[in-house]
Each structure stands twice: as structure tokens, then as C-alpha cells.
């Protein structure tokens, strides 16, 4: 059984979780310890005790540890990517790429640890100097989702450690294997006991313990909007720092002047790859009515060639849905869309394969109205809605007509429209002629409106969340 990692030691939990592959329910991955309230409290206490010394540690020590973690992840990316694909359901190329991205993130923040900047200014009062410096927040609770089970933990854990914070990491219950593998690598990187702690277990136990614990100074959360709101309220009550990445209902605008092949590829990749289980997925395709029929036909043709199947098999484009609950949600929204009068162009059926898995053919709905539930609510599956638009201005208005604002895309050959869209799309990230899903690790990640709250993740901007600013005055 794979154990918890608390205060530099591997230990048993209060229970055991057995995980199975969504590609083949007979494939048992492993048994993992599940933390109870006692283990969660031990993890917080360990992180709290280690925080003062780690916060004053040398930047070279932090950089060396993070670089070692990144190096090992990259050396083992095929092994880790295979585990990821087996456990979460991404295709093997996607799983290996995600593991590689996690390694690159740790190596990036190894260097960022050496670049924590401050300012020295002259005071308005003669003979006094002013220093502005950054210090770690303290204990950071990290609550990660299942859809990117190595990359998202990496882009939270790496900056937390780089800037001198200690960590209590609670992964999603569906993907303890990826979390344990990452923790096992981190455990051998030379960090002092208590600096990093892995507390696998249910949110109602481990998550609640972190949210309500005064010794946890900050929470970095990625997950559903409803859970994010609970995190926000809990942190606000005790004035803890929070960083929330939540839902998305991202638009991809296709104008009449777009290169059709580019637009179809952007829609195909953004809407359906990774089984549509990405907060950045383009689930609303807003298409100029002049090319509406041509676009729908072309996209449907490309979808017909997609191969859905076991995540580890060669030639597979789309793996299974992550579990039975998510599959039921996807199928429920497909029925809702039919009931609302949307036209099912293709897909939307439960598929049978040689193994017992959660396979679903990607669904494309056309002739959708912007007020339809399936076109407004996040489904988090391989389901896309095509909405007709009467020119650019109408398309922009439709794109912004959502409670979310994570990412927005446009396909056009017009520099004028591309420039205007980048400035006026109400989203934290804007894509021009590329899929909405797919971002770099060295630049800020985050959205507006109901998608995000707090400082941005990733890149140099991560310093804003994981540090506090101190201003010091010295009389010469």
C-alpha cells in the first residue's frame, strides 16, 4: 500500500483507497492510504513547525532541490506519463507530455528561486533608506484537481517551495497514484522534514481541515466553481490568502475570413482532446453565419475520424471519461441539449470497447441558442455547442455573454479583428488562430469573472501569491 508522506516520514492513514483505470475497470492500479482528521492535523503541524527555518533557507538550497525534482521527472516522464494515462484516462502521448511539462515547471522555478527581487529607494526624509523585500507566506495548503494530476500540482508546489513556503498537498481522490509518485520524488530531493507533506484523502476530511486551520496561511485551489466558493468563504472568515481557479465555458469565435482548416483544427483540439476534461476547453463555438454550414460539416468530418479507446493503446485520439459520475454528467447534458432543441450533428453515445471503460463519442451540437443550458453551464466533457453569429460584433458579444472568463479564442485572418478581440474579450487568456486549450508554463495562467480569484498562477507572476511584501526603513 502506498502511504502518506508527513513530516519526512511515510505513514499509514485512517483508511485505504483502491484505484482502477477508467480505460479498463478490471485494471487495479494500487491501494493508497487515505488520511483522516488525525493525519491531516499532523501534516499541518509538521508544515507549521518547518515553516520558520525553511522561510529563512538559502535560495541555492531551494533551487538545487527543485532542479533535482525536475530532472528526475523529466528522466522518468514516460513512466510517469504511462501511470497518468492509466489512472486519469488521457492518451499516452498526452500523459507523457504532461509529465514533461511538470518537470519543466520544477526546473523553471528552481531558477525563479534565485530571482526573488526587491527594491531600494530613497526616503522622502533625508538620511533614511527604504528596502522593499519579499517573504514567504508560511504554510500553503494545495488542493488539486484530477484532470491534470501531475502538471497542476507541479505548478502549485514548485513556486510554493521556491519562495520559501511549506506545503500540505491534498490531491483529488481519483488520482492518488500520480500524487504519490510526485511526492516520492520530492521526498528524495533533500528537503527538511515537514517542508512538503502529502495528505491523500477525501475533501470533507483533509480539505476541510486545511480550510479551517488557522496555521494554514494560504490556500491554492483548482476545481469546481461550487467548491471554490466554499474555499473562498472559509478563507475569508479567517482572513487567509486564497488563489482560486474554477470553471470555464470558453468561446472560440470563427469569423467568415478565417482559414477553415486552422479553425477546424483549433475547434477539434480545443473542444475534444483530453476528452474535453479541461477548464480551458472551447465548449462554445461561435461561428459567422456566412461559413456556418461549411464549418459544421468540416468539423463533423474531422470528428468522424477520431479514434476513441483505451488510453494506453496506440493510435487513440481520445481516451475514456475519468469515472462513472463524470460520464453520467456528460450523458445528462447531451440529453438536456436534445431536449432544448439543439441539433445533434454527431457523437454523444456511450461506446463499447474490448475493455470495460467509460468511453464516450465526442458530441457536436449545432443550431444552439446562447441561452440554452448546455451552452452556458460547464459540462467538462467532450461536448461542444455551435452558435451562429451575425458578424464580428455579434460574435464578440456572444463570446462575452458568460459568467466565466478563463480563455477565449478567435480564428481570423484580419489583424483588425484579432487586435480588437484581444483587447475586448472578457477573459484572462486570449488565443488567436490556436486552440483555447494549451498554454505555456512560463507565463501567467488565470481568468476573470467566475473563473478565477486571486493572483495568477505560473510564470514569474506566481511570486505575487506565494510571497508577502515587507517595507523596511533604516536611518543611516
SS (H, E, C) 339-406: HCCCEEEECCCEECCCCCCCEECCEEEECCCCCCHHHCCCCCCCEEEEEEECCHHHHHHHHHCCCEEC
CA 255, CA 273: separation in Å to the nearest integer?
A: 23
Residues 391, 394, 400, 401, Cα dihedral to 10°: -140
pLDDT digits (tens, 9 = 90+) for 143-166: 999 999 999 999 999 999 999 999
Tell me the three cell numbers of residue 101.
Answer: 511539462
CA 102, CA 176: separation in Å to the nearest integer?
A: 16
Tell me the three cell numbers of residue 460.
Answer: 514569474
Q: How does strand 218-222 pair with strand 407-411?
A: unpaired
Tell me what pLDDT residue 65 has: 98
- What is the model's pTM? 0.97
Q: Which residue has the cell 495562467?
A: 445
- The sign of the CA dihedral 327, 198, 105, 82 is negative
- Residue 297 to residues 19, 264, 291, 347: CA-CA distances in angstroms? 40, 10, 10, 14
Tell me what pLDDT residue 277 has: 98
CA 41, CA 43: separation in Å to the nearest integer?
A: 5
Tell me the three cell numbers of residue 333.
Answer: 447534458
CA 24, CA 331: separation in Å to the nearest integer?
A: 20
Active site residues: 245, 279
Tell me what pLDDT residue 257 has: 98
Tell me what pLDDT residue 476 has: 77
Tell me the three cell numbers of residue 197.
Answer: 507533506
Residue 328 half-sphere exposure toward CB, CA atoms < 13 A: 3
- Residue 238 to residues 12, 196, 211, 212: CA-CA distances in angstroms? 30, 23, 9, 8
pLDDT means per 10 residues, the chain with 476 residues, are 97 96 97 97 98 98 98 98 98 98 98 96 95 98 98 98 98 97 98 98 95 97 95 97 96 98 98 97 98 98 98 98 98 98 98 97 98 97 98 98 98 98 98 96 96 96 98 94
> Which of 245, 247, 300, 244 minimizes the C-alpha distance to 272?
300
pLDDT digits (tens, 9 = 90+) for 88-122: 999 999 999 999 999 999 999 999 999 999 999 99
Phi and psi angles of residue 211, each rounded to the nearest 5 degrees, phi first: -65, -35
Got the DSSP string for 110-140?
A: HHHGGG---EEEE-SSTTEEEEEEEEE-SEE
- The CA R_g of the chain, rounded to the nearest whole Å, is 23
Tell me what pLDDT residue 396 has: 98
Tell me the three cell numbers of residue 267.
Answer: 475547434
Q: What's the CA angle centered on 417, arms 415 and 423, to 5 degrees?
A: 100
Tell me the three cell numbers of residue 262.
Answer: 486552422
Q: What's the CA angle centered on 374, arms 372 and 379, to 5 degrees?
A: 160
Q: Judge contact between 414 and 255, C-beta under 8 A.
A: yes
pLDDT digits (tens, 9 = 90+) for 255-313: 999 999 999 999 999 999 999 999 999 999 999 999 999 999 999 999 999 999 999 99
CA 89, CA 146: separation in Å to the nearest integer?
A: 10
Q: Judge contact between 33 and 200, C-beta under 8 A.
A: yes
Buried b (16+ CB within 10 A) or exposed e, 344-356: ebbbbeeeeeebe
Amino acid at each position: 500500500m502506498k502511504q502518506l508522506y508527513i513530516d519526512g516520514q511515510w505513514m499509514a492513514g485512517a483508511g485505504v483507497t483502491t484505484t482502477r483505470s477508467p480505460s479498463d475497470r478490471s485494471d487495479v492500479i494500487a491501494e493508497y492510504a487515505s488520511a483522516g482528521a488525525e493525519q491531516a492535523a499532523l501534516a499541518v503541524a509538521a508544515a507549521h513547525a518547518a515553516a520558520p527555518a525553511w522561510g529563512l533557507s538559502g535560495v541555492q538550497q531551494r533551487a538545487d532541490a527543485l532542479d533535482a525534482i525536475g530532472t528526475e521527472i523529466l528522466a522518468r516522464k514516460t513512466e510517469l506519463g504511462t501511470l497518468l494515462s492509466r489512472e486519469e484516462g488521457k492518451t499516452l502521448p498526452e500523459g507523457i507530455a504532461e509529465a514533461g511539462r511538470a518537470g519543466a515547471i520544477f526546473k523553471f522555478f528552481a531558477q525563479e528561486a534565485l530571482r526573488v527581487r526587491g527594491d531600494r529607494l530613497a526616503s522622502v526624509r533625508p538620511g533614511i533608506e527604504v528596502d522593499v523585500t519579499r517573504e514567504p507566506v508560511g504554510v500553503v495548503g494545495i488542493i488539486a484537481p484530477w484532470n491534470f494530476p501531475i502538471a497542476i500540482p507541479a505548478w502549485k508546489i514548485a513556486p510554493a517551495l521556491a519562495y520559501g513556503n511549506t506545503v500540505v498537498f491534498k490531491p483529488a481522490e481519483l488520482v492518488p497514484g500520480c500524487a504519490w509518485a510526485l511526492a516520492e520524488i520530492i521526498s528524495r530531493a533533500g528537503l527538511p522534514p515537514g517542508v512538503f507533506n502529502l495528505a491523500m484523502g477525501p475533501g470533507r476530511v483533509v480539505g476541510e481541515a486545511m480550510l479551517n486551520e488557522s496555521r494554514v496561511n494560504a490556500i491554492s485551489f483548482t476545481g469546481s466553481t461550487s467548491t471554490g466558493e466554499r474555499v473562498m468563504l472559509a478563507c475569508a472568515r479567517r482572513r487567509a490568502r486564497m488563489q482560486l481557479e474554477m470553471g470555464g465555458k470558453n468561446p472560440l469565435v470563427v469569423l467568415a475570413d478565417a482559414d477553415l482548416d486552422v479553425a477546424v483544427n483549433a475547434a477539434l483540439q480545443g473542444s475534444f482532446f483530453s476528452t474535453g476534461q479541461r477548464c480551458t476547453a472551447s465548449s462554445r463555438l461561435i461561428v459567422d453565419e456566412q461559413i456556418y454550414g461549411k464549418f459544421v460539416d468540416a468539423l463533423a468530418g474531422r470528428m468522424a475520424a477520431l479514434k476513441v479507446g483505451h488510453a494506453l493503446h496506440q493510435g487513440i485520439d481520445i481516451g475514456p471519461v475519468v469515472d462513472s459520475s463524470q460520464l453520467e454528467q456528460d450523458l445528462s447534458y447531451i440529453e438536456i441539449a436534445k431536449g432544448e432543441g439543439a441539433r445533434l450533428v454527431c457523437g454523444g453515445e456511450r461506446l463499447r470497447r474490448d475493455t470495460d471503460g467509460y468511453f464516450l463519442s465526442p458530441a457536436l451540437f449545432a443550431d444552439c441558442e446562447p441561452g440554452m443550458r448546455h451552452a452556458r453551464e460547464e459540462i467538462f466533457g467532450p461536448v461542444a455547442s455551435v452558435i451562429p453569429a451575425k458578424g464580428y460584433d455579434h460574435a464578440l458579444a456572444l463570446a462575452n455573454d458568460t459568467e466565466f472568463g478563463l480563455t477565449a479564442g478567435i480564428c481570423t485572418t484580419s489583424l483588425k479583428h484579432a487586435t480588437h478581440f484581444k483587447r475586448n474579450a472578457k477573459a484572462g487568456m486570449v488565443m488567436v488562430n490556436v486552440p483555447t486549450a494549451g498554454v505555456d508554463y512560463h507565463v501567467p495562467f488565470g481568468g476573470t469573472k467566475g473563473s478565477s480569484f486571486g493572483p495568477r498562477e505560473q510564470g514569474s507572476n506566481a511570486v505575487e501569491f506565494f510571497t508577502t511584501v515587507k517595507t523596511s526603513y533604516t536611518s543611516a
